[in-house]
Amino acid sequence: MIMRILVRATATLVLALAALWGTAGPTPARPAAAARPPAVEGQPCAARTGDDAYPNPLNECAAADPGMVIRGNTWYAFTTGMKLYKSSDAGHTWSDLGRFLQIPAGYVDAWAPEVYRIGNTWICYFSMRPGPGQFAKVFVATSDRLKSGWQLREQPLAEDPTVSMIDASMFRAPGGQRYLLYKEIGNRRIMIDRLSADGLTLARQPTPILSNTLPWEGNSVEAPSMVYRRADRHYYLFYSGNLYTPTGHYGVGVARATTPTASFDAGKLPEPILREDADFASPGHQFPTQATVDGRRTDVLFYHAYPLRDPAGNPLPSPAPRALMMDVLTWGADGWPQVHDGTPSR
State the catalytic residues.
65, 222
- In the chain, the DSSP E strands lie at 43-45, 67-71, 74-79, 83-87, 94-99, 108-118, 121-129, 137-143, 151-152, 165-172, 178-184, 189-195, 207-211, 221-229, 234-241, 251-257, 280-293, 296-307, 323-331, 337-339
Could you give the maximum distance between any two Cα atoms of the chain, in Å? 53
The answer to whether residues 76 and 85 touch, using CB atoms and an 8 Å cutoff, is: yes
Query: Please, is 7 exposed, middle or buried when counting C-beta atoms within 10 Å of its C-beta (0-12, 13-18, 19+)?
Result: buried
Task: State the CB neighbour count (10 A cutoff) for residue 310.
Answer: 12
Contacts of 108 (CB under 8 A, 6+ apart): 18, 19, 128, 129, 131, 132
The answer to whether residues 168 and 127 touch, using CB atoms and an 8 Å cutoff, is: yes
Distance between CA atoms of residues 15 and 29, nearest Å: 35
| Beta-ladder partners of 166 | 183
Distance of CA 56 to the CA centre of its chain: 16
